Structure 1
Amino acid sequence: MYCFIHAGLHKTGSTSLQELFFQNAKALQQEGLLYPTLSARHRQHVGLAKALQTRSDDGSALIRAFEAEIATQSHDALLLSAEWVSTVMSKPEGSRLVEYVRALGYRPVVFVYLRHQPQMTNSQYLQGVRTLNFSGSLSELIESRRETSTDNKGFLPQIESLGDDIVFRPFNEQMRRGGVERDFLTALDRRLDRQGRLAAFADRSQGKRENVSTEGPILVEVLRGMRRRIEGALSRRERTLLARKAVAMCTRRVGPEPTYCGLDTALAQSIEERHRAANDAIARAAWNMSWEDAFGADVGRTYQCNDLHVTGNRAGLVAARAMIERLVTLAPGWIETLRQRQASETDPAKAFA
């Protein structure tokens, strides 16, 4: 019995896939494909993967919940998704999730979607800014990750150990147009001989993309400035609330913007050069072609940076600063209201008053 593991990478449509799986879990199960939801956190299985990787006592309850769920639900194949898995699969120790499901009697098949690094870097930066986790420049982000980022050649040992049971796909322009959902479900269709019924589920997500980076340069400046000005740690819900407030204000005052690009051509070329050898090595091993052949127009393209500080857009900076001042003034009240609401939700005396 197969266990399909969708392992990312990050910024390759993972959130859209997980949303599709979670929302259609019952219908997928009718086709014999079980996507466990009771043991999923944030609609994916990163908690399970991390609990197995660290072998901590804190994760034992989640592992038991997962095992109980799959034991009581009928299925012909199991489907798990956690893009975090790719980060450990590219390291020597690999992912314990793979061996764990094998020990449970499944045949693990891992899917990894690879993306050209300049585009991934810009997208990762926007996500960090959007979630109020990063307030620096794109160059600062690149420098901070220079020693910790992993080259794709780290996946080569997995090809040797898993053979055909690890599948790499290029998240290139053609893939982005057609949708990663259809690509992934078509592959499962072939493995399970469902004659297109699984691939048809991709139609349910067409036109909707979760977690897609669409921030413009003024909004990016607002989010960065707000994060720098607000003191103290913020919870995930607080960051989400403040980001939504910033987006709403910027939309009202500025309107539609072109998507932010922190890259220029020279910076993109330096990123490409750094990863060239490792990219070609994995492309040859996985697809028997060069990285450039696999990614086509993504390689060597030109970029025009539209960061307000780089372009010297004075009007944009003035508008952003005005919104930052307003948001910073209102933020403490929003945060306090949210915290009071959360306290009442968790206080039994208030909940049943």
Structure 2
Amino acid sequence: MTARRCYLHIGPHKTGSSTLKHFFRANEARMYSNGLFFPKSIDENGKRAGHHAVLVNSSELTPEGDLRKGAVLWPEIEAVVAKGRKDILLSSEMFSDAVFKPGRFEPLLNFFSKRGYEVVVFAYLRDTASWLNSGYVQSQKRFARVQAFSDYVEMGFDEGWIDPMRFLAPFIDDPRCRLEPIPFDQAAKAGLEDDFMRRCGVADIRDFTKLPLRNSNAGAKTIYAAQQIMARLGGGARDRKGYAPIYREFKQTFQRLGWQDQPHVELDAEQADAIRARMAPSADAFAGRYFGTPWSSVCTPRPMTRSRFEPEAASATEREEVASVIDQFVEAFGQKEKKSGSQAARWAAKATSRLGRRKPEAAEAGEETRD
């Protein structure tokens, strides 16, 4: 009898994870009928999520892989595993962040190992230079922080999330799992969803629902506008009041204006080659081990031509359009902060008014209680 498997898709970021996440959610029933179970999950706010990051960030499992009393999510998985009739698919690009936290995957690996399931780890790989550019564009369009591209590159090298030998270290040589690194561009060319399902043993997905590509390059004007908005706000905006709806409106705006048609590229060919050369020793060692070939054969270098929005070279119409969007969203964040501050002031005034209306004897009793 063939051993059942848990397919652990760890992303990482900027390798089609959002596209796959929505594909999985749209096809849960079809996957189940094909022998692949995609468990329910929740996000940090307790709402239904399309990924499984919470499964390694919770304390529902003991380090040995047993369910703790009161577990909510893992019992559903255990019930399916106990029957041994379905493979399991767990997916989250946030898993690639958790790999840098020692022991984070121990409970999960032990859970499946002691129940006779093989864990197969899927991790996509990209050309280092284009990967860094994509990550930088993502961080800037989402108002993460004001940051120069050169600083972002150094962060990538220092933290190790662009180095497969480092971010995949927890799964290399671990007998409880099998690491299956996947060249992203090759998978995308074959059809990302088709390629992924084939690796999970589902050969025919013609009746599955496919959705539009998610998180493509936001465009040069978008990144310029986002950086100007953050500069005027005095920093990143992801922690500001009203961020989520304001970002959604920003995204709808740049898509409506067609700004994504001219991608934002920070690198020229010389800079891209310098980044690849810097990563080469580690990347080649990894590629040699898993593919028997140099890294450049696994992740073919993409041609890079710098493409940024330069106001001085733009037409007056373009400058006015971009300036209008910048003003619109600086104002949107400002109004949200102002509204939040006014609301807090009203709540404080009401609380003070209630205290002022308290009877003297009640106030005295309250003081005695607090003492």
Coarse TM-score class (shorter-chain normalised): 0.7 to 0.9
Cα separation, partners in 2 of 1:255 and 1:125, compared to 1, 3 Å: closer
Corresponding residue of 1:347: none
Deviation larger for 156-165 or 216-225: 156-165
Q: What's the % identity of the aligned pairs? A: 22
The farther-off stretch of 231-240 and 64-73 is 231-240
Aligned partner of 2:171 in structure 1 is 158
Show the counterpart of 2:189: 177
Aligned residue number for residue 95 of structure 1: 105
Instruction: Please say if 1:49 is aligned against 2:56.
Output: yes
Check 1:317–1:163 CA distance in 2 against 1; reply closer, same or farther (3 A cut).
farther
3-state SS in 1 of match to 2:90: strand
Deviations 1:132-165 (A, max 9, x none): 1133332232234442224222336733224982
Query: 1:285 Cα deviation (Å)?
Result: 1.1
Matched, 1:68 2:75: yes
Q: State yes or no: 1:17 paired with 2:43.
A: no
TM (normalized to structure 2)?
0.74
Contact 2:11 2:94 in 1 (8 A): yes
**Structure 2 unaligned blocks of 5 or more:** 343-371
Whether contact under 8 Å (1:18, 1:44) holds in the other structure is yes
Match of 1:243 in 2: 247
Aligned pairs (5 A) from 1:84-123: 84-89=94-99, 93=103, 95-96=105-106, 97-123=108-134
When the two chains are superposed, the root-mean-square deviation of aligned CA atoms in Å is 3.6
> Once the 2 structures are TM-superposed, how far is the Cα of residue 267 of structure 1 from its aligned partner?
1.7
CA contact (8 A) 2:12 2:96 kept: yes
Name whichever structure is richer in helix by fraction. 1
Residues 61 and 228 of structure 1, relative CA distance in 2, 3 Å threshold: farther
Distance 1:275 1:178 in 2: 27
What is the match of residue 92 of structure 2? 82
Deviation per CA, 1:30-81: give whole Å up to 9, x if none.
222111114566311111122259989xxx9998112222245575111101
2:356: which partner in 1? none
Secondary structure of the corresponding residue to residue 204 of structure 1: coil
> How far off its partner does 1:312 sit?
4.8
Q: Which has the larger radius of gyration?
A: 2
- Distance verdict in 2 for CA 1:158–1:331, change over 3 Å: closer
Which position in structure 1 is the counterpart of 2:359?
none
Moved more, 135-144 or 314-323: 314-323
* 2:346 aligned partner: none
Report the CA distance shift for 1:322/1:246 in structure 2 as closer, same or farther (over 3 A): same
User: In structure 2, what is the equivalent of residue 350 of structure 1?
Assistant: none
Contact 2:219 2:263 in 1 (8 A): yes
Determine if the alignment matches structure 1 residue 262 to structure 2 residue 266.
yes
**CA offset at residue 240 of structure 1?**
3.2
Q: Residue 41 of structure 2 contacts residue 50 of structure 2 at CA under 8 Å; is this kept in 1?
A: no
Q: 1:37 to 1:263 in 2, by over 3 A?
A: same
Q: 1:225 to 1:22 in 2, by over 3 A?
A: same
Distance 1:16 1:255, change over 3 A: closer
User: 1:205 is paired with a residue of what secondary structure?
Assistant: coil
Q: Is the 8 A contact 1:7 1:85 kept in 2?
A: yes
For these two proteins, the number of residue pairs brought into alignment is 324
Change (3 A) 1:12 1:339: farther
CA contact (8 A) 1:131 1:240 kept: no
- 1:331 aligns with 333
Query: Structure 1's 48 and 94: CA in aligned 2 closer, same or farther, altered over 3 A?
Result: closer
Distance 1:215 1:71, change over 3 A: same
Structure 1 stretches of 5 or more lacking a match?
A: 341-353
CA distance in 1, matches of 2:296, 2:176: 23
Residue identity opposite 2:220 in structure 1:
P
1:63–1:26 Cα change, 3 Å:
farther
Alpha-carbon spacing, 1:288–1:93, altered in 2? closer, same or farther (3 Å): farther
Aligned mates of 2:36, 2:260 — CA distance in 1? 40
Q: Is the 8 A contact 1:3 1:80 kept in 2?
A: yes
Kept after mapping to 1: 8 A contact 2:42/2:49: no
SS at match of 1:108: strand
How far, CA to CA, are the matches of 1:47 and 1:303 in structure 2?
37
